[in-house]
Amino acid sequence: MSSLCPCRAPLLYAFALWLFARQFADPCYPQAVPANDIEYMRMALEEAHAAAQAGEVPVGAILVIDDQVVARASNRTITDCDPSAHAEIVALRAAAKELGNYRLGGAMSHATLYVTLEPCSMCAGAVVQARIARLVYGCDDPKGGAVRSCFAVLDHPALNHRVEVTSGILLEECAATLQAFFAARR
């Protein structure tokens, strides 16, 4: 019977600690949800409802920097006749204009984007380009989500910016808003 090489023991210990810590990041182990996340996601849901009233796919987004709402938006692709006018893009554009800088997250601020639906690849790329520190979204998009459902754009190792992601905030409400919208169109 061979014994463990003493030089590998620290590596195994570190790996065991990593595995133990990882279980708490797993969605199977629910985390406490900050009250602000729920409040801001409710605002995003208001934007989604406004989009639905306008005949747009009901997706809403809120951009918060240092606990201040900087921009609110909803999908406007039909209204603006613009395929890039997703709620996230509209919110990022409004915030950049308001602040006078396309880089919304910097050393002095912490930008969080709240969106009711998992961002697509275009929106996920814009989140990286705007240097958003944190993305919070409601429900997954199994047909086009680029955070984890179809792609993992934000996790690509070549990117020079990392985004903290929280999903599932008001998941049922966000999903129900989309389901009701599409059910009414069938």
Q: Which residues are catalytic?
A: 88
Question: What are the Cα distances from residue 100, in Å, to 75, 103, 127?
Answer: 23, 9, 17
Supply 59's token pair.
């997706």
CA distance 120 to 79: 19
Backbone angles phi, psi at 138, to 5 degrees: -80, -70
Q: Residue type for 4, please?
A: L
CA distance 110 to 103: 11
- Evaluate whether 126 touches 92 at the Cβ level (below 8 Å): yes
